[in-house]
């Protein structure tokens, strides 16, 4: 199975040669302008199917605000703001995303979720949020983002840095399937083309291992099967406390 997987992955990789060349010469940047629209449409469907899971995940957000204070939350890779409806009223939100073209859709979502207080939108990657002070937020949220960052380890290090002691990192991510499954086989075979479709998304990441090694004082994590196609069916969900 390993030989076949590698062989077909090479075939798919070869078929993606035009896409590789487009990325090399900078033409792939055009897709980055279109991707926010695609993600906006996808997020509507994702939220419908994962509504209960998201509601359960974010239910405990308010527990992490400072006594008598306002919950301050930073979202890494906020995209179109698909998580905003799940945040508690009065929450102060700092939005970050490396793609500035999301701002149009983000503004629309802000208008639809007036129960929140929006502090600012930062064009920044998860690996480099230097403009955010140490120990300055109560919660960091990261959903469907760790699949596409350049470094999971550095992103988690940054999240840990900006969280105040006792603050929490909330996550919901699709991950690599069980190695004995056909899903695992096709994840590796189709990864080359999926990378371009998903704007750098990698479905073969063992993200849970990075969370376990990130140095949080407490980690609550579950592996679940989401109601989607096999490529993104395996998910992890939970939160980690600094």
Residue 22 lies in a domain: yes
Q: What angle do CA 13, 193, 238 make, to 5 degrees?
A: 125
Which residue segment(s) compose the domain that 173 sits in?
1-59+69-241
**pLDDT in tens for each of the 242 residues of the chain?**
688 899 989 999 999 999 889 888 888 888 888 888 888 889 999 999 999 999 999 999 999 988 878 999 999 999 889 999 999 999 999 999 999 888 888 888 888 999 999 998 999 999 999 899 999 999 999 999 999 999 999 999 999 999 999 999 999 999 999 999 999 999 999 999 999 989 899 999 999 999 999 999 999 999 999 999 999 999 999 999 99
d(CA 31, CA 193) in angstroms, rounded, equals: 14
- 137 strand-pairing partners: 163
Residue 112 domain flag: yes
Contact 127, 149 (CB under 8 A): yes
Question: Has residue 235 been placed in a domain?
Answer: yes
- The domain tally of the chain equals 1
**Cβ neighbours of residue 239 closer than 8 Å, sequence gap 6 or more:** 57, 60, 168, 169, 170, 171, 220
C-beta of residue 4 within 8 angstroms of C-beta of residue 183: no
Report yes or no on 64 lying in a domain: no
Give the pTM. Answer: 0.94
2: domain CATH number?
3.40.50.150
């Amino acid at each position: 199975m390993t030989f076949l997987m590698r062989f077909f992955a090479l075939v798919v990789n070869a078929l993606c040669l035009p896409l590789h060349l487009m990325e090399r010469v900078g033409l792939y940047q055009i897709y980055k302008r279109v991707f926010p629209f695609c993600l906006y449409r996808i997020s509507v469907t994702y939220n419908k199917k994962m509504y209960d899971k998201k509601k359960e995940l974010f239910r405990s957000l308010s527990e992490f605000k400072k006594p008598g204070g306002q919950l301050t939350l930073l979202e890494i890779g906020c995209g179109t703001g698909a998580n905003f409806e799940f945040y508690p009223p009065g929450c102060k939100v700092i939005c970050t995303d490396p793609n500035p073209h999301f701002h149009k859709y983000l503004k629309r979502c802000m208008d639809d979720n007036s129960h929140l207080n929006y502090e600012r939108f930062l064009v920044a990657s998860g690996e480099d949020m230097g403009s955010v002070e140490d120990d300055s937020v109560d919660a960091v949220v990261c959903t469907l983002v760790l699949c596409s960052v350049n470094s999971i380890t550095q992103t988690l290090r940054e999240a840990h840095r900006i969280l105040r002691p006792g603050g929490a990192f909330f996550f919901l991510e699709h991950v690599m399937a069980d190695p004995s499954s056909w899903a695992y086989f096709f994840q590796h075979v189709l990864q080359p083309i999926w990378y371009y479709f998903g704007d750098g998304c990698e479905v073969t990441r063992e993200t849970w291992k990075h969370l376990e090694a990130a140095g949080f004082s407490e980690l609550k994590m579950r592996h679940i099967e989401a109601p989607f196609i096999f490529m993104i069916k395996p998910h992890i969900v939970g939160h980690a406390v600094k």
